[in-house]
Amino acid sequence: MERASIKELREKAKEIRSNIITMLEASGSGHPGGSLSSADVMATLFFRVMRHDLRNPSWDERDRFVLSKGHCAPVLYATLASAGYIPKEELLTLRKLNSRLQGHPGMIELPILEASTGSLGQGLSISVGIALAAKMDKKSHSVFCLMGDGEQQEGMVWEAVMSAKQFRLDNLCAIVDANKIQLSGSTRDVIDVETLTRKYRAFGWRVIRVNGHSIPSLLLAFKLFEWNKMMNRGKPFAIIADTIKGKGVSFMEGKVEWHGKAPNSDEASRALKEISSR
């Protein structure tokens, strides 16, 4: 595992954002908004927080990551490519027939994944299962699960939230990419899920709410998760990461129409220029 500096993490997030744009342009379809909003979280996780080993991807002690909001597969593939698990050229096969990089992550095609996802609401339950198995096997690895804020409207999320508390899963860290926009509009207008901090706390979790684009704040949040886990008090941990949908590309930021639309070549070159100059 790499232990990147804050400066390096910012560069990794930029690289991830650029690769998201490049792969979406090549595929002609996909989800830029929620991929771009979670790039800083993903860079922080994979290049500083999580234990993993490129030379031994199935290392038993590795931390596990589940992308519950599976439609944001581009951010996952771009991160895995930056970390060396996928050749960078392969990113251009996104959503192509017979590609390992399908529109939603599939572990049959790509066995380094911990779960196949895309049906919203399921990832936290999968993560609860993985975290419970780790406890039963007396293993020390952690499980990180990234969800959307629109996804919080799924009832199954709250079944998992309750069982994580019941099973005392302090090795589980849920991250909500709170970008305030879902497929059909603002999350507040569709079904308002706020305030997430109070909801998770009421269900017995420890919660911290941070700026999801501030690498130092994210590092602090993950450090608190580690301390919470070390104290062994049995409380699962949630990070509510306040983010901007489409972050990094001005004409996509905060725009619902960029939830699930690929940039054309002109838009992609403008986006890439912006990302590299920020």
**Residues in contact with ligand TPP by the rule CB under 6 A:** 31, 33-34, 37, 69, 71-72, 118-121, 148-151, 177, 179, 181-183, 187, 245, 259
Q: How far is the CB of 240 from ligand TPP (least distance, A)?
A: 13
Q: Where are the beta strands (DSSP E) in the chain?
A: 64-67, 143-148, 172-178, 181-182, 185-186, 206-211, 237-242
146 three-state secondary structure: strand
Q: How far is the CB of 8 from ligand TPP (least distance, A)?
A: 25
| Angle value at C-alpha 149, between 249 and 206, nearest 5 degrees | 120
Q: Are 91 and 78 in contact (CB under 8 A)?
A: yes
Nearer Cβ to ligand TPP, position 30 or 118? 118
Nearer Cβ to ligand TPP, position 134 or 200? 200
Nearer Cβ to ligand TPP, position 39 or 134? 39
Residue number, nearest CB to ligand TPP: 148
Nearer Cβ to ligand TPP, position 88 or 199? 199
Write down the number of H helices and E strands in the chain: 10, 7
Q: Please name the amino acid found at residue 140.
A: S
Q: DSSP string of 8-70?
A: HHHHHHHHHHHHHHHHHHHHS----HHHHHTHHHHHHIIIIIS---TT-TT-TTPPEEEESSG
Q: How far is the CB of 234 from ligand TPP (least distance, A)?
A: 28
Nearer Cβ to ligand TPP, position 171 or 187? 187
Q: How far is the CB of 34 from ligand TPP (least distance, A)?
A: 2
Nearer Cβ to ligand TPP, position 245 or 247? 245
Nearer Cβ to ligand TPP, position 184 or 250? 184
145 by Cβ neighbours in 10 Å (0-12 / 13-18 / 19+) ranks as: buried
In the structure encoding, which two tokens stand for residue 95, read together? 């959503």
Q: Are 16 and 82 in contact (CB under 8 A)?
A: yes
Q: How far is the CB of 2 from ligand TPP (least distance, A)?
A: 26
Q: How far is the CB of 36 from ligand TPP (least distance, A)?
A: 10
Task: Return the half-sphere exposure (C-beta side, CA atoms, 13 A cut-off) of residue 249.
Answer: 30
Q: How far is the CB of 71 from ligand TPP (least distance, A)?
A: 4
